[in-house]
């Protein structure tokens, strides 16, 4: 990588049972093996990061071991991203690719679905490191429901997923119209086979594997 390039920041978003976890792991392996420039350094983050003090509160909430006001849990999810913001920026500056499983878009989608105002939901994430590319694994909640069963966590229900999908679609439309500091939003048809989805993801990611030019953007600034 030339010295004027930094690592790429790539985010994967999607509903539960869109194949997101599987695809993120496949993509990480492929990034590590990228042949053209020798192995690419890649760091994978899965938001929420449940190991920090804030992350432990989020984990307890998701397991229904605690009850929190909708505003409170929303701000904790955002704070959990801010905890990692300087780490993300440092990795990118060193030329490391950062691959995140969920990010601020999940934050908005899951909270706006509950009826919190969209703009209010977005506000605490304004200024976070912006992804260069967000890949949305698109699947209808009905098709997702035909896949293997949901787990036991809060939100893992078809009704919730339907509402979340509507907000994700709104975010996607805005990002595609805007094309501003928040990077590119690309929809991937997650209803295809695992191999086909992996191939479609790779096509979108490959141009970024050797790093990107320019400084890191700030979300919605
Ligand atoms: P996983 O199933 O991916 O571990 O996510 N969530 C996530 C929010 O409500 N707000 C957020 O900001 C983020 C990152 C989505 C656990 C659940 O947490 C939800 C599912
Ligand atoms: Mg989950």
Confidence bin at 149 (pLDDT 50/70/90): confident
Predicted pLDDT at 3: 58
DSSP states along 180-194: STT-EEEEEETTS-H
User: Tens digits of per-residue pLDDT, 9-58?
Assistant: 999 999 989 999 999 999 999 998 886 656 679 999 999 999 999 999 99
Percent of the chain with pLDDT over 70: 95
| Beta carbon of 105 within 6 Å of any ligand 1 atom | no
Percent of the chain with pLDDT over 90: 81
Question: Does residue 1 have a pLDDT over 60?
Answer: no
Residue 125 contacts by C-beta under 8 Å, 6 or more apart in sequence?
Answer: 78, 81, 104, 107, 108, 219, 220
Ligand approaching nearest to the C-alpha of 46: 1
Spatial distance between the Cα atoms of 176 and 183, rounded to a whole number of angstroms? 9
ipTM value, please give it. Answer: 0.98
Among 48, 78, 165, which residue has the most ligand 1 atoms within 8 Å of its CB, making it the best to mutate?
48
Predicted pLDDT at 30: 94
Ligand approaching nearest to the C-alpha of 110: 1
| Beta carbon of 131 within 6 Å of any ligand 1 atom | no
Residue-averaged pLDDT of the chain: 93
Mean pLDDT across the stretch 71-93?
Answer: 98
Residue ranges of domains in the chain, CATH in brackets: 5-207 (3.40.50.300)
Predicted pLDDT at 37: 59
Tell me if 168 sits within 8 A of 135, measured CB to CB. Answer: no
| Beta carbon of 48 within 6 Å of any ligand 1 atom | yes
Q: How far is the CA of 47 from the centre of ligand 1 (A)?
A: 7
């Amino acid at each position: 990588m030339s010295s004027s390039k930094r690592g790429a920041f790539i985010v994967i978003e999607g509903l539960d049972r869109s194949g997101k976890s599987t695809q993120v792991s496949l993509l990480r392996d492929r990034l590590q093996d990228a042949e053209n420039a020798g192995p690419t350094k890649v760091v994978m983050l899965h938001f929420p990061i449940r190991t920090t003090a804030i992350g432990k509160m989020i984990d307890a909430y998701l397991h229904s071991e605690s009850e929190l006001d909708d505003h409170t849990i929303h701000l904790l999810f955002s704070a959990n991203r801010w905890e990692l913001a300087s780490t993300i920026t440092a990795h990118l500056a060193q030329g490391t690719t950062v691959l995140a499983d969920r990010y601020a878009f999940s934050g908005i989608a899951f909270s706006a679905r509950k009826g919190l105002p969209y703009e209010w939901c977005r506000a605490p994430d304004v200024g976070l490191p912006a992804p260069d590319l967000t890949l949305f694994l698109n699947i209808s909640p009905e098709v997702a429901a035909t896949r293997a069963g949901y787990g036991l966590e809060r939100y893992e229900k078809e009704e919730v997923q339907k509402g979340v999908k509507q907000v994700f679609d709104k975010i996607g439309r805005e990002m595609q119209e805007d094309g501003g500091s928040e990077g590119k939003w690309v929809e991937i048809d997650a209803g295809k086979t695992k191999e086909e989805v992996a191939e479609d993801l790779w096509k979108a990611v490959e141009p970024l594997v050797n790093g990107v030019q320019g400084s890191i953007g700030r979300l919605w600034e």
